[in-house]
Structure 1
Amino acid sequence: MRSIWTGSISFGLINIPVKLFSAVQTSTLDLDMLDKKDHANIKFKRINENTGKEVSYADIVKGYKIEDKYVVLDDEDFEEAAAVKSKTIDILSFALEKEIDSLYYEQPYYLEPDKGAAKAYALLRDAMEKTGKVGVTSFVLRNKEALAILKPYKNVIVLNRIRFEQEIRDTKDLKLPAISKKTTAKELDMANQLVEQLTEKFDISAYKDDYSKNLLAIIKNKSKGKKAIAPKLEVVHKQNDDLMEMLKASLEKKKSS
């Protein structure tokens, strides 16, 4: 793996030199867009909407529209807005992980101790493991300040970038059911039974993204002249209005399986 950032974790008076690596990789196939007629590659051009002529990348500037006019930004404007460059992951505080809603999680990275930092790295990792706490941190990545948490995962410290509060949309525009007072104790008890029946220890290895693997198999077969057979559409039955009847049926189905 190739590191994408180097710096240090600031932990009290302790500085732990680290390297940052992406913890994820895409499982999707890299497909090209082709012309249906002759299978030539599709290329995109930057076109001036007024003249219809192509514009070179060097002649493109960025702007923000206010009312009917654009305010054009130059390099100095972006530099002024950018966070002060820092090579430090500052631990601002520690918190219980359960207090951080999963809605805020954005991107995970691995942190590797740099030369001479193994002991201090292990100390921080093991302290978080023992206390069940995560470190709330801020750092600068690509000129933008980011909020993140540090947490132990197996024998590595993971830096998980999280979203700022203002990046989460409000739910007020969604049409959501009110908290019902009509739900009977019997319905709730039966729903709880169904939840308990379906509860099992979470094992991520039991779940696989098979789409890319299946698609690649289809591509290979097609290259050999074999035709793909589309799977039958699964029929979704209409929801029964009688919740009790549906809950009973669900419980019986689970018992018989």
Structure 2
Amino acid sequence: MRSIWKGSIGFGLVNIPVKLYSGVQNSNLDLDMLDERDHAKIKFMRVNENTQKEVPYDKIVRGYFLKDRYVVLDKHDFEEAAPEKTKIIELENFVDIKEISPIYYETSYYTEPEKQGRKAYALLLKALEKSGKAGVARFVLRNSENLCVIHPMNNIIVITKIRFDQEIRSLADITTVDDINITKKEIDVGLALIKQYSAKFDLSSFKDDYSDELLKIIKAKSKGKRATVKKIKPQKASSDDLYDQLMQSLTAKKGA
């Protein structure tokens, strides 16, 4: 596995040299777009919408539409706006990781200490584990500033990028359910249903079934066959009453 970034975690006055490795990978199948007639690959061209002619790459500029026109940006503008390039992941504070809503999470990276920073790395790892806290920090990756949380997992330090507050859309236009009345007996059955379905989280028990089934179809078609795919039929409650549906759900779970 090849590292994608080298730098240091700034823990007070202690610098911990680390490498970053991507901690996630895509499980989707890599499908190409083809011409139905001869199965040739589809290529995309950069075309001027006015002339319909292809535009050479060196003639393409980037702009922002402001009011009634585009403001074109040049290399100098991007350099002026870019955060100062730094190789330090500077810890700013420590928080209870439970306070961070899942909506903020983006992608995760594994860290590996450089030889000269192993002891300091181990210290930070153990301190995070014992405190139950996660560090909040900023770092520069691919010319953009990123916010992240630094947290322990399976005896390594993981850096997970999180979104800035301005990236989260307002809930103002979303209809809420504040005006819906839920009875105590409905709440009690709902809690009972949650308890009945509760289990220790085990990520390995969840598989990307769609990609697996699609690959079966691909392999069958390559041999001139048609794969048989099991269709899941959703269960339907025999009543429109919410309480009755909850009770039926409890009974069905017990039966299973």
Q: TM-score range by the shorter chain?
A: over 0.9
Alpha-carbon distance in 2 for matches of 1:227, 1:251: 38
Which SS does the other structure have where 1:52 is aligned? coil
Shift of 1:240: 4.6
Distance 1:82 1:250, change over 3 A: same
C-alpha distance after superposition, 1:36-85 (max 9, x if no partner): 11111111111111111111111100111112211111000011010011
Which SS does the other structure have where 2:6 is aligned? strand
C-alpha distance after superposition, 1:205-245 (max 9, x if no partner): 11111222222222122111112345447356489541111
The AA in structure 1 aligned to 2:209 is D
Which SS does the other structure have where 2:136 is aligned? strand
In structure 2, the partner of 1:155 is 155
In structure 2, the partner of 1:192 is 191
The AA in structure 2 aligned to 1:36 is E
Unaligned stretches of 5+ residues in structure 1: none
Shift of 1:172: 1.4
The AA in structure 2 aligned to 1:35 is D
Distance 1:70 1:236, change over 3 A: farther
In structure 2, the partner of 1:15 is 15
Distance 1:127 1:71, change over 3 A: same
The AA in structure 1 aligned to 2:186 is E
Q: How many residues align?
A: 256
The AA in structure 2 aligned to 1:226 is K
In structure 2, the partner of 1:222 is 221
TM-score if structure 1 supplies the norm length?
Answer: 0.95
The AA in structure 1 aligned to 2:244 is E
RMSD value, Cα: 1.6
Shift of 1:30: 1.2
Shift of 1:151: 0.4
Distance 1:29 1:37, change over 3 A: same
Alpha-carbon distance in 2 for matches of 1:215, 1:67: 46
After superposing the two structures, state which structure 1 stretch, 128-137 or 231-240, moved more.
231-240
The AA in structure 1 aligned to 2:160 is N
In structure 2, the partner of 1:145 is 145
Alpha-carbon distance in 1 for matches of 2:253, 2:217: 34
Distance 1:20 1:81, change over 3 A: same
The AA in structure 2 aligned to 1:198 is Y
Unaligned stretches of 5+ residues in structure 2: none
Alignment of 1:48-197 (within 5 A): 48-178=48-178, 180=180, 182-197=181-196
% identity of equivalent residues: 55
Alpha-carbon distance in 1 for matches of 2:213, 2:245: 34
Are the counterparts in 1 of residues 216 and 227 from structure 2 also a CA contact under 8 Å? no
Alpha-carbon distance in 2 for matches of 1:198, 1:124: 36
